[in-house]
Amino acid sequence: MAMWPLSDILLVQLLIMLSPACFLEAQTSYSTAQNYYPSWTNNLSIPARGFDSYQMILLSEYWSFACGFYSKDQENDSFYFAVVSLNQTYAGAIVNFTLQHVIWLANENKPVGRNATLKLLPEGNLVLRDADGALVWSTNTSNMSVAGIKMMETGMLVLQDHNNKTVWQSFSNTAHVSTSWTNNDPISAMPFNLFKIIMMHGAGFYCGFLSKDRNSFYFAIWKKKSEYSGDDDPEALWLANRNRPVGENATLQFLPDGDLVLRDADGAFVWSTNTSNMSVAGMRMMETGNLELQDHNNKIVWQSFSNTAHVSALWTNNDPISAMPYNLYKIFMMHGAPFSCGFHSKDRNSFYFAIWKQSEVSGDDVPEALWLANRNRPVGENATLHFLPDGDLVLRDADGTFVWSTNTSSMSVAGMRMMETGNLELYDVNNKTVWNSFDHPSDVLLLGNKLVAGQKLVASVSKTNRSEGVFSLSVILQGLFASYQATAPQKYFKFSVLGGIDSLQLSHDESSGNLALLIMSASPDEPNTMLTSTIKYSATAYMKFDPDGHLRIYDGNMIDGVDLLTDMSACDYPTACGNYGLCLNGQCSCPAGFARANTTNDQGNYNCWQMSPTTCENPKSHSLLPLEDVYYFNYVDPEAAVLKGTDMKSCKDACLKNCSCNAALFQYYFNDSHGNCFLPSPVLTLTGDGKERNSYHSNAFIKTSNDGENGSAFTSTINPTSSINPKIIAGSTIGAILVMSLIGGLCIMVWRKKRDLEEGMEDLNQLSGMPMRFTYQELRVATWDFEKKLGGGGFGSVFEGILENGEKIAVKRLDALGQGQKEFLAEVKSIGSIHHVSLARLIGFCADKLHTLLVYEFMCCGSLDKWIFCREPLLHPLDFQTRRNIIMDVAKGLAYLHEECRQRIVHLDIKPQNILLDENLHAKISDFGLSKLIDRDQSQVVTTMRGTPGYLAPELFSSVITEKADVYSFGIVVMEVVCGKKNLDRSQPAECMHLLPILMKRAQEDQLIDMVDNSSEDMQLHRLEAAEMMRVAIWCLQSDHTRRPSMSTVVKVLEGTMGVEADLDYCLQNATTMAAIRREAELGSTATLLPSLLSGPR
């Protein structure tokens, strides 16, 4: 926050009488800061009244704190320069303040009278003088370049220099030995004050004397209550003398020998840190809320919250900290990360042994629990957690009833520790972990926490009820499955990878800089897979399986998470519209014979109830309400079919004959004489959104009672009227005619477009040299009904398959229709007839009215980017010769496209992700979705800009395209392959984000060998040859596209029959290039300008 100039201050001096019983209008003219040399005088008339008075000088940003002159006696003769906390109430547009607490006094032992002055001197000293000019107090900050004074929202008053660096603060977060504090000064004598602050950290944590009844005080740690809290008092996080409170005049002394000692008013010993003779140098309040004693080497010798505990420790949920009416959690252990564990509650009644992050943001002051031991069986007050001598950690309720344990008795357990990852571990005498919370997940996956095959996350019942709910996310060898748990689980999401799934964990997608779910293959021969989120990587992030069945990513500073499964719509989830609800475009309605319930389900969603329920007493009165083209959420469990290969009538009969059946679902591909029949129980959300996204047809039949009138298939939201106005009839008739005319015109347009597309499909059969054309059924069989997904992007997903001849294939199922299909036809005609060893081979395609698929040869080693960027443990660094061969393969493939085809083909999206490797690490170019055809008699074409940020040639920003755009992209790829680094890495500082300027500088300094990948010993052995390849890259990266070589020339240089041009321009960043880089930064790191439509397997 910038400090305000004098011109923004309307009033500097204003006396406001404040007390718990006095409300006055807020003055918004108060500043949070001053950056000139002001003076304030305590000389305004104060009437003799029976309550405290306060003259505000500065307010914090959100009006939580203020500083100024304060007096507490009735005569108002003794004043203090003080910081106070304020309570705000609103009366219309007027804000009223009441004083809550005095939290700091500058002159606590030497009050001043009327006409005293507080002045910020030009040399930077803040000085308080009495009316006679006698010095009372100062900050002693002369000659420290002080620029201004600021009231912080934490309650801290600070002096700052011109760089906004704090040079003085009212509360330090450190203290040195030989310091003493006493609970007897005016701040504790106030009738409404319950605490005295000794130390403060800017993150909002305090330590000092704390009381809840003004009689019993504790040396405690607490944090500032947030603005949306209804409580006036702070919430204690730790108490030193929890079982032995002290009274007024108690002292806390930091002795010269390093011991911190608390004594009562009579000098009786109460508590100490027992740190004498440990070379203690000071005490520090940490941003995590931990109070530490440190030695001269800044090593921690004592801390309020340890991250370890030993056997025989006992914690009870019954001491003063839990008895406070506003406290909802009690910390046992803490790690500076800052993870804590202890008793946790949201309602003061039900407590859990839990792990949470102390800094976690949520809708209230209680941090979100990230792991719960006893989530299905909460305990009450006086519950105990006992670390038994035999090594078992046992939780019992107040009556001694067993609730939960780690089952680690007789495992030689020596201790417990809270890890920086948020993992709670029990370890043995050899320091080996014998139990940890990560192995027993609840509904959250933290960074570093693996969910292995056989484990699952179970969502909570609701946001307020953390017991296990109806949704589970399971990892098994066959895949990752999300299910609604019923008598028979109903799956709504599945994800499979080649070789099966070993585990999954939250990770960092380096290519985008975002958080991702890394799915590890169980086979060392198969690649891992990432589901990338839209949230940038954060060390505070976690993944939560929420009560509504959504898998969301939270970055630790968010209240609402972001969906990870972005391909799923709202209607794909089983409880989106509750039982029997119909979901269409995210909106809910009820079928005929059903009405919306007054209550919602546990996830807060829509529910429908049957107005005339069916019973088993009169089955002959049952009938089925048909719902054509209605699907069952995103139901993905074909094995759950009750009848397979049956017809629709048999499916309906099966439901009518089964008394407990409430609905039948019939799914088929070609006609209703052969399909699968499902009888789900319970009946969850139905959807009308599935037709466009599914390859099969679906009809639903809901069992109803003939006792009620069903009418149309869905209930109407329009109420009939008792009489109809003739004008309404006339207007409706005219409107209907206009609407029908419009619909008719649209139908003709759609028919013509459909006809043109069908004619285009037929044209494919007439062309010679085209790849094989498959039927959709053939590809369904080849891909095991699209079971093994390799990845996805652009307009579709890629699946593994095997043809009848045993050849492995990669099938890309395109989701785009309409204009996308027209482009598909044009590109199949052109790309389908070209063949080269360095191009991914298009084996065939499928194109009919409903389906558009491409069949490519299978490339088992995946894309080049994971070999040069990701550094996966199973992938060894590529040696120099392999990298050279890959570059040669790509160069030959581009030379073929540019110079040997009937029409020149400009790829326009050359990047490591589009370069695939076979089992011998030979490279092949894939993904021609952005390619452009240029006739031989054309030198260039003008088209919309297309490509991927970081690889775009400068001239593309003027929409002029030649084959030299590919040459530029090739130069970027060569640079990345040789360096082993991304050319555009947004995780790096701004000066290191772009690799191109670094290359330019090294080239100008003749130090290209410094750019060679230093993670590979072989690359370093061949660094001179690698540096020569960098010169090839520089030639390809010339800003003037006419100076770049052709790809056939590049091939000759790589073969050694030609040399690199001697007169290269090393200034690779002219005005056009700089504009391109700025434009790329605006575009973002993941957005391909025209998403690839005709895409090879990734």
- 37-90 tens-digit pLDDT: 566 766 543 332 223 456 778 888 878 888 888 887 656 678 888 888 887 777
- On the question of pLDDT at 1086 being above 90, the answer is no
Min mean pLDDT across 116-125, 154-163, 493-502, 1081-1090 is at: 1081-1090
Q: Give domain status of residue 666, yes or no.
A: yes
Residue 331: the pLDDT is 57
Report residue 189: phi and psi, to 5°.
-85, -5
Mean pLDDT is highest, among 89-103, 237-251, 377-391, 1066-1080, for 377-391
Pick from 120, 153, 186: which residue ends a domain? 153
- Considering Cα of 1066, then 1071, then 1073, then 1074, what sign does the dihedral take? positive
Q: How many whole angstroms separate alpha carbon 268 and alpha carbon 260?
A: 14
Distance between first and last Cα of the chain = 47
Tell me, what's the pLDDT at 622? Answer: 86
As a whole-number percent, the residues of the chain with pLDDT over 70 amount to 72
- Same domain, residue pair 630 and 505: no
pLDDT of 103 above 70: yes
Q: Which of 525, 547, 568 is the last residue of a domain?
A: 568
Q: Are residues 16 and 81 in the same domain?
A: yes
| DSSP helix/strand/coil, 151 | strand
Residue pointed to by tokens 């290359």? 999
Q: Is 1089 a residue whose pLDDT tops 50?
A: no
Does residue 1037 surpass a pLDDT of 60? yes
- pLDDT score of 330: 54
> Which pLDDT score is estimated for 481?
92
Q: What is the pLDDT of residue 890?
A: 96
pLDDT, tens digit, 9 for 90 and up, residues 368-419: 889 999 999 999 888 888 888 888 999 999 888 999 999 999 898 888 888 8
Mention every residue, 6+ apart, whose C-beta is less than 8 A from residue 853.
Answer: 774, 776, 779, 811, 812, 813, 814, 845, 846, 847
What three-state secondary structure class fits 332? strand
pTM tops 0.85, yes or no: no
* pLDDT reported for residue 60: 84
514: which residues sit within 8 A by CB, 6+ positions away?
A: 532, 533, 534, 535, 536, 537, 1086
Q: What CATH number is given to the structural domain containing 1028?
A: 1.10.510.10
Which domain does 423 fall in, by range?
A: 305-439
Selection from 14-28, 190-204, 332-346, 422-436 with the highest mean pLDDT: 422-436
One domain for residues 563 and 602: no
- Quick check: 564 and 558 in contact, CB under 8 A? no
What DSSP character marks residue 601? -
Measuring CA to CA, which residue among 276, 250, 277, 272 is closest to residue 260?
272
Cα-flanking dihedrals φ and ψ of residue 812, to 5°? -100, 120
d(CA 574, CA 931): 41
Active-site annotation holds for 132 = no
> Range with the lowest mean pLDDT among 157-171, 683-697, 741-755?
741-755
Residue 15, pLDDT > 60, answer no
Catalytic pick among 909, 927, 985, 1013: 909
The Cα 576–Cα 584 span in angstroms is 10
Spatial contact of 368 and 360, defined as CB atoms under 8 Å apart: yes
Range with the poorest average pLDDT among 497-501, 734-738, 911-915: 734-738
pLDDT at 1092 > cutoff 90: no
Q: Is a pLDDT exceeding 70 seen at residue 928? A: yes
User: How confident is the model at residue 189, as a pLDDT?
Assistant: 38
Q: Provide CB contacts within 8 A for 1023, sequence distance 6+.
A: 1009, 1012
Same domain, 911 and 926: yes
Task: Kindly state whether residues 425 and 488 are assigned to the same domain.
Answer: no
* pLDDT band, very low/low/confident/very high, at 1077 (cuts 50, 70, 90): low
Predicted local distance difference test score (pLDDT) of residue 483:
93
Q: How many domains does the chain have?
A: 6
What are the start-end ranges of the E strands in 383-513?
A: 384-387, 393-396, 402-405, 413-418, 424-428, 433-436, 444-446, 450-452, 456-460, 468-476, 479-484, 490-495, 501-509
Residue 242, domain CATH: 2.90.10.10
Average pLDDT over residues 212-235: 64
pLDDT at 358 over 80: no
The verdict on residue 1071 lying in a domain is yes
Q: What is the pLDDT of residue 546?
A: 94
* 452 domain-assigned: yes
In a domain, 858, yes or no: no
Q: Is 812 annotated as a binding residue?
A: yes
Is the pLDDT confidence value at 14 over 50? no
Query: Is there a domain that residue 726 lies in?
Result: no
Looking at the predicted structure, is the pLDDT value of residue 766 above 50?
Answer: no
Query: Taking a C-beta distance cutoff of 8 angstroms, is the pair 153, 60 a contact?
Result: yes
Residues 416 and 277 in one domain: no
Residue 611's nearest CA partner among 632, 626, 625 is 625
Most confident of 65-74, 128-137, 613-622: 128-137
Cα-Cα-Cα-Cα dihedral sign, residues 277, 278, 282, 286: negative
- Mean pLDDT for 985-1011 is 83
The reported pLDDT for the residue numbered 594 is 86
* Residue 718 belongs to some domain of the structure: no
Q: How far apart are CA 104 and CA 84, in angstroms?
A: 7
Closest to 515 (Cα-Cα) out of 528, 532, 503, 529:
532
Q: Pick the range with the lowest mean pLDDT from 186-190, 456-460, 530-534, 757-761.
A: 186-190
Phi/psi of residue 263, each to 5°?
Answer: -125, 150
> Are 448 and 425 members of one domain?
no
170 close to 154: Cβ distance less than 8 angstroms: no
Residues 6 or more apart from 928 whose CB is under 8 A from it? 827, 831, 905, 907, 1094, 1095, 1096
Residue 665 has pLDDT above 90, yes or no: yes
Residue spans of beta strands (DSSP E) within 212-268: 217-223, 235-239, 251-254, 260-263
pLDDT of residue 912 exceeding 60, the answer is yes
Between 169-173, 592-596, 959-963, 1042-1046, the lowest mean confidence (pLDDT) is in 169-173
So what's the pLDDT on residue 128? Answer: 93
In a domain, 277, yes or no: yes
pLDDT band at 24; cut points 50, 70, 90: very low
pLDDT value at residue 649:
93
More confident site: 572 or 669: 572
Question: What is d(CA 203, CA 858) in angstroms, rounded to the nearest whole number?
Answer: 54
pLDDT at 551 over 80: yes
Tell me: do 347 and 229 sit in the same domain: no
pLDDT at 724: 39
What pLDDT is attached to residue 679? 92
CA angle 891, 897, 902 (to 5 degrees): 155
Q: Residue 173 has what pLDDT?
A: 60
What is the average pLDDT across 709-719?
A: 39
Instruction: Report which listed range, 44-48, 294-298, 823-827, 1018-1022, is most confident.
Output: 1018-1022
Residue 432 has pLDDT above 60, yes or no: yes
Q: Long-range contacts of range 639-645, CB-CB < 8 Å, 24 or more positions apart?
A: 640/488, 640/490, 640/491, 640/678, 641/676, 641/677, 641/678, 642/677, 642/678, 642/679, 643/676, 643/677, 644/676, 644/677, 645/674, 645/675, 645/676
The more confidently predicted of residues 481 and 1066 is: 481
Task: State which of 520, 545, 568 marks the end of a domain.
Answer: 568
Q: Which amino acid is at 468?
A: E
Rounded-to-integer distance, Cα 439 and Cα 793, Å:
33
Q: How confident is the model at residue 954, as a pLDDT?
A: 85
Structure tokens at 689: 């959104």
Statement: residue 952 has pLDDT above 80: yes
Tens of pLDDT along 788-809?
Answer: 887 765 556 788 888 877 788 9
Q: Is 819 a residue whose pLDDT tops 50?
A: no
Task: Assess whether 403 and 522 both reside in one domain.
Answer: no
C-alpha closest to that of 413 among 386, 388, 385 = 388
Both 449 and 429 in one domain: the answer is no
pLDDT digits (tens, 9 = 90+) for 254-275: 888 889 999 998 999 998 888 8
User: Stretch 484-491: mean pLDDT, rounded?
Assistant: 85
Of 122-126, 137-141, 415-419, 943-947, where does mean pLDDT reach its minimum?
943-947
Q: Are residues 270 and 327 in the same domain?
A: no
Q: Are residues 4 and 111 in the same domain?
A: yes
What pLDDT sits at residue 311? 61
Q: How confident is the model at residue 204 (pLDDT cuts 50, 70, 90)?
A: low
Residue 819 lies in a domain: no
Angstrom distance (rounded) from CA 81 to CA 57 = 10
Beta bridge partners of 1008: none
CB of 51 closer than 8 Å to CB of 61: no
Query: pLDDT per residue over 882-908, tens digit each?
Result: 999 999 999 999 999 998 887 788 888
pLDDT tier, 652 (very low <50, low <70, confident <90, very high otherwise): very high
